[in-house]
Structure 1
Amino acid sequence: MTPQYASVSVCGVVSTFYDAIPLIFPKDYFTSHAARAFHTQCLQNVIRSDGVIAISESAARDLYLYTGYDLAKTQIVYPLVEDRFRKINPEELNSFSAPSLKDIDLSQRFILSVTGIHRSKNVKTLLEAYMQSLSLIGREIPLVIVLPSEGARLEFIRQFGTPLNVIPIAAVSEEELAYLYNRADFVVQPSLYEGFGYPVAEALSCGAAVITTTSSSLPEIAGDAALLVDPINVEEMAQAIVTLATDRGLRAELKQRAITRARLFHDPTALGTATYEAYKRVARSECRASPDRRPIAAIWSSMPPLDCGVADYSRELVDALAATHDVDVYVDGKYRPDAFIPTCARYRHPRDFDLLPEPTMNIFQMGGRSYQQFMYEPIRRHRGTVVLHDLSMSLGFYFLAKGGDALNEFEDKVVLPEGEHAHKEYGRMLAQFRDPPRDVLDGFFDRHKLLRWLVESTDSLLVHTEPLRSQLKEEYPDANTRTIRMGATDMLPKVRHLPMQSWRQALGIKPNALCIGCFGIVDKWKRLDLVARAFEELCNQYPTSVLLIVGRAYDAEYRQKLEALTKESRFGERIALIDYASPNAFHALMALVDVVVNIRWPSRLGMSAILVRALAAGKPTIISDIPEWREIPEEVCPRVTPGETALKQLSALLIGFASDPATLKAHAMSARKWFLSNGTLDAMRADYLSEAPRKQ
């Protein structure tokens, strides 16, 4: 099951759960972070399902034990065993041709095990038990081990060598495997864990006597048709092998029981009926009205892993609203979104909107990146609330239209609604410049925000700063504009357990050194070159200081400028440019630094998610003195005034923090206090519930 299928749906979801082996043997399965993340995504989808089909009672129990999934929503449905696994009559058996088995003398007695080399298969215990039994059963009964592939056979030899009387084989067809089940004296399945145990079910279907273990689903599948042993007790397994090898009557009895037991796994009607009932039960619950059904919030946005601030913001907003709402998250379907969303949230495709119950809140998260372009038509079709993250988003849409050869459509849908004056100026610009230079475009889009189409298509526009709301109201007096707080996840619980001092030491940061962090997109607007020069001034007095610049640079020229500045600096080895940090690494790096510098100009009148996250982490944060951030007290965030004195001011602030730990601590406490009062997800949710128009 791939993550996107179970989490993007317009109906109830039923997942099939096979086993919990990766959770029980994590070191063997999760050999990389990617493997762990992918399995976690798949498991999250199962947990979010409206119903689950489990292939055994054992699998259902494990799903509950490891995830807490409601057993009442789980249906046990045994899978079918192929009909080729059957009791073969003696004449057919004697005439069977098995080319891949030609090098093995199968006319004699042998013990069979169909297994693998994974630790859960417990091959080592089987080999030890077989070796113990040899002194009593003799060498005339070899152990034939069927492995799933030639690679597995070679790995078996690498791990275990070529044990006496043991014959590892591979690349066996199902017909040949059925032949082996029928020919074998008995079958040993020594697994530590199976979700179902196909080799046991196949062996029983062929009328074989079976030894298996008391672990997981194996007693459930074998019933009274097998000898059960402790999977980690070598002596007990060896004794069972000796017993079956020497007791012809017991073998015959088990073979007779096997045929009866195997009927459970050859009933397609029972399988179909049980599967249908599982789906019908979910479909019925979907249609049944629920008096205590929670209100629905529809969120249209880009989502992680897309690398943009709107995606990160929306991921946290989903967390916030999930406390009170079921959340439908509409994405454009061109990527696999992050599966780590609350169980009451689902990903939806835009075409699903008309098929679903009407939400009480319909919210669009709009920025100027290509990731948000898919919302243009839905905004016009499904009126709602738009949260405006970027006042200059129309410039971004212009570049997208230009790259997609869609400037005519851009003119019709975005420029023309702005009015005659803007439309004529746009026409003159294109007449003068076939490809307008950036400064000309900046001038035009600074004079004309081209948001009239948005104002006319929405119930209200929400922004995160009062200066931005005031400017919107000035340019579009009829717009219903409101201000809401920007919230962020509380970082401290995430990072308290991390070994910060040892990490700082590993990065070469001395115990009392000041570590400065700059986070987010690397752009000239953020004045990181000025930060680097101020850092050099700091190092003249405190040479052990460290500067971390964490974020991707979409402006290659500016990135090269920073790299050159770093190389030229006498303290360049104290500056680290980190291109990308995963969410967990971001949290760790934010916790690791002592001070955050988050300056930018000219003003764009928007709030900064990095700023809120820094305050959440309790970090003294130096900001620029621009209108949108003046509501934050200076004792929380000291200011740098844009202009000629900015370098001197920033250098002085950094040196002050390095020289006065008490001031550093006081600012850290003020930062944390401000966050708890103004920047939590609870505060953001309260504003959304208060300010976003709701349908009753």
Structure 2
Amino acid sequence: MKIGILSWILDRERTGIDNYLYNIVREMIIKDKSRDITLIHYRKTDNPLYQMVNEVVIGSLPGNMENPLSLSRALKREEIDVLHLPSHMALQVNPFFVGSQVKKVLTIHDLIPFFFKDKLPFFYKFWAPSLKLIKNRPHCIITDSQNTRNDLINHLQIPEEKIKVIPLAPNKDYTFMEDKSPVKDEILAKYGISSPFILYVGTVELRKNIPLIIKSFYKLLKSGVECKLVLIGKLGYGFPEISQTVETLGLGDQVLFMGYVPDEDLVKFYNAADLFVFPSLYEGFGLPPLEAMSCGCPVISSNTSSLPEVVGDAGITLDPEDCEGFTKAMYQVMTSPALQEEMSQQSLERAKLFSWKKTAEETWKVYQEVHKEGY
């Protein structure tokens, strides 16, 4: 069985979806599947994964759309049996027209375009129609959570037997550090941050409910708790409004936007933080809270979409519209070392339930089932 994977998302700075593909491919390589995997993308890069598997570079159409003719030729030349599209991003429609001889697996991480059109850039509005167009073409659809599976059934009318839920996992390097003092000193000095601090990781955009974090943090400061709010992630849609909220509340010195941070530093931030807050309105999975928990950081998140599946009873989950509730929970954690320690231990135990090894194994089983029996 030969597997082809569209891998262009590996050719950029890795975030959530990119980490998904990177980690499952890496685990498949560890399980000695490298000879059976062909990564297909648009341009050569120095990503080490390409040195360990078969690599095919094909041309792309404007806007990074797959060139169906080049892709069809590559699939035939490499004798690909199963093609995996690891994301529905970038309007990946063309691969579903490359021929019936290749079985197709599609990962749909979320249905954000259906629910948050007013909180996303204009081009996102084209994703919903594209998903409706391709919904019957893959032989199997993988989702990260039961919540997304339910969304696919309810909003796209996809047969439930066609959908396989395979949870994500934290990066194996995101681990709890027993001696945090040197790590905290290093990260604070490097990035010019003072302690204590509350951490958020993810795209800094309206859909992530960033204004609520800022307003809750403002009320926390008014209650007498002295700390910083550190937001890590690229600046996304609606950032001017977010920035205006900071300015209006006079928090320019307390709210720090760090932009993209490499993995080797991000794990140190998770370990150095006193609390992780994630009030997102909707998540297909919610990887940052799990990454934080794997480092033993106490977590407060919203109780919507897939987040309860990830956080479980290890963290505090709240209505994402409840600003007062978030402020109260933040106050409780930041003023109680005993509660921080209890939540830290609960986080570590919860994180043990997830691993990229299991994610990769379950994904490979889908390849085998699709190749052998079809859907």
Q: 529, 532, 541: which is aligned to 2:211?
A: 529
- From the superposition, tell whether residues 453 and 569 of structure 1 become closer, same or farther in structure 2 (CA, over 3 Å): closer
Q: Which runs of 5+ in 2 are unaligned?
A: 58-70
What is the match of residue 515 of structure 1? 197
- What SS is found at the alignment partner of 2:85? strand
Distance 1:307 1:379 in 2: 31
1:629 paired with 2:337, answer no
- What SS is found at the alignment partner of 1:597? strand
Give how far 1:641 is off.
Answer: 0.6
Give the TM-score taking structure 2 as reference length: 0.79
- Structure 2 residue identity aligned to 1:476: Q
What is the match of residue 330 of structure 1? 39
In the TM superposition, 1:95-106 aligns within 5 A as none
Give how far 1:615 is off.
Answer: 2.4
Give how far 1:380 is off.
Answer: 6.8
Give how far 1:624 is off.
Answer: 0.9
Q: 103, 106, 110: which is aligned to 1:383?
A: 103
What is the match of residue 49 of structure 2? 341
- Structure 1 residue identity aligned to 2:103: R
1:577 paired with 2:243, answer no
8 Å Cα contact 1:519-1:550 kept in structure 2: yes
- What SS is found at the alignment partner of 2:111? coil
- What SS is found at the alignment partner of 1:386? strand
Which structure would you say has the larger Rg?
A: 1
Give the length in aligned residue pairs: 349
What is the match of residue 4 of structure 2? 298
- Structure 2 residue identity aligned to 1:683: K
CA deviations on 1:580-604 (whole Å, 9 max, x unpaired) are 2223233332332222212212x36
CA deviations on 1:464-508 (whole Å, 9 max, x unpaired) are 121221232244254611211112322345977983132255256
CA deviations on 1:309-330 (whole Å, 9 max, x unpaired) are 3222211111122222116353
- Structure 2 residue identity aligned to 1:320: E
Give how far 1:300 is off.
Answer: 1.9
CA deviations on 1:41-80 (whole Å, 9 max, x unpaired) are xxxxxxxxxxxxxxxxxxxxxxxxxxxxxxxxxxxxxxxx
Q: Say what the alpha-carbon RMSD is for the aligned residues.
A: 3.5
Give the TM-score taking structure 1 as reference length: 0.45
Distance 1:345 1:613 in 2: 27
What is the match of residue 157 of structure 2? 476
What is the match of residue 342 of structure 2? 666
Q: 89, 92, 98: which is aligned to 1:368?
A: 89
Distance 1:392 1:463 in 2: 13
Q: 52, 61, 76: which is aligned to 1:354?
A: 76
- What SS is found at the alignment partner of 1:341? helix
CA deviations on 1:129-157 (whole Å, 9 max, x unpaired) are xxxxxxxxxxxxxxxxxxxxxxxxxxxxx
8 Å Cα contact 1:305-1:337 kept in structure 2: no
Give how far 1:657 is off.
Answer: 0.9
- Structure 2 residue identity aligned to 1:647: C
1:599 paired with 2:279, answer yes
1:312 paired with 2:19, answer yes
8 Å Cα contact 1:509-1:544 kept in structure 2: no
8 Å Cα contact 2:187-2:269 kept in structure 1: no
Q: 235, 242, 258: which is aligned to 1:553?
A: 235
- What SS is found at the alignment partner of 1:584? helix
- What SS is found at the alignment partner of 1:303? helix
Give how far 1:566 is off.
Answer: 2.6
What is the match of residue 177 of structure 1? none
- From the superposition, tell whether residues 484 and 492 of structure 1 become closer, same or farther in structure 2 (CA, over 3 Å): closer
Distance 1:494 1:663 in 2: 17
Q: 330, 333, 343: which is aligned to 1:654?
A: 330
- Structure 2 residue identity aligned to 1:484: I
- From the superposition, tell whether residues 445 and 471 of structure 1 become closer, same or farther in structure 2 (CA, over 3 Å): farther
CA deviations on 1:271-291 (whole Å, 9 max, x unpaired) are xxxxxxxxxxxxxxxxxxxxx
Using the aligned pairs only, state the percent identity: 12
1:457 paired with 2:126, answer no
Q: Which runs of 5+ in 1 are unaligned?
A: 1-294, 400-436
- From the superposition, tell whether residues 583 and 632 of structure 1 become closer, same or farther in structure 2 (CA, over 3 Å): closer
Give how far 1:636 is off.
Answer: 1.1
- From the superposition, tell whether residues 374 and 453 of structure 1 become closer, same or farther in structure 2 (CA, over 3 Å): closer
8 Å Cα contact 2:274-2:334 kept in structure 1: no
8 Å Cα contact 2:203-2:235 kept in structure 1: yes
8 Å Cα contact 1:549-1:578 kept in structure 2: yes
- Structure 2 residue identity aligned to 1:628: S
- Structure 2 residue identity aligned to 1:352: A
- Structure 2 residue identity aligned to 1:330: L
Give how far 1:386 is off.
Answer: 0.8
Distance 1:367 1:353 in 2: 19
Distance 2:4 2:203 in 1: 28
What is the match of residue 403 of structure 1? none
Distance 1:579 1:640 in 2: 26
8 Å Cα contact 1:488-1:680 kept in structure 2: yes
